[in-house]
Amino acid sequence: MKIIDVTRPLVKGMLVYPGDSIPSFVQADHGRYLISDIHLSSHTGTHIDAPAHYLKSGDTIDTIPLRHIIGRCRVIDLSGTGSSSITEDDLEGKLQGVKRILLKTWFSPRGTFCEDYPSLTHDAACCITKSGIECIGIDSPSIESYNCDGSVHRRLLGSGCIIIELLDLSDVTGGDYEMVALPLRLAGLDGSPARVILIKQEGM
């Protein structure tokens, strides 16, 4: 069994989406113990979007179905395309027999923000929801383009498809894995940083 951590570390100076809070970490030495104050956005680093992020009546991060973010998933390697738009054609024939997918793109090794990061087109989002996908993850800052209208988020979240953003899939090859993605249980909030791991069992 191989365990791969695909979470970006939360560190000072890390990549953040423009307009989000800059994370800060202050550690105090109390002699016999250390304790830290942490300030960050609910969408800092590798994080999960709950439906409430875009839908006022949607599930909050503490009420999303855990079965959507735990279980068999497929990593789809699109890193060779070099494109910033992930279309329905890019996903053709790759969604059968799976409920959770992670999209590996050329952005995984990057540590700085750029406006042309890879993202889903609306037709790709429609393809995903029609295929019954319950969770989609991506290694870029957002599942939707920088100059967006929110329609991709609303299409996915409105269909019960949970979104994971800003993964690090640099060391992951395409294929099927077991995934565990757990947000903090933040009552009533729209999202949360998460620890996401992939498990490769023999024979998978």
Q: Which residues are catalytic?
A: 53
- CA–CA separation, 80 and 74 (whole Å): 17
DSSP string, 141-154: S-SS-SS--SHHHH
Q: Record the tokens describing residue 143, joined without a space.
A: 């599942």
Give the up-direction half-sphere exposure of residue 22: CA atoms within 13 A in the CB hemisphere: 2
- Tell me the one-letter amino acid at 120: L
Q: How many C-beta atoms lie closer than 10 Å to residue 51's C-beta?
A: 25
For residue 166, how far is the Cα from the chain centroid?
A: 5
DSSP collapsed to 3 states, 94-140:
CCCCCCEEEEECCCCCCCCCCCCCCEECHHHHHHHHHCCCCEEEECC
- CA–CA separation, 115 and 107 (whole Å): 11
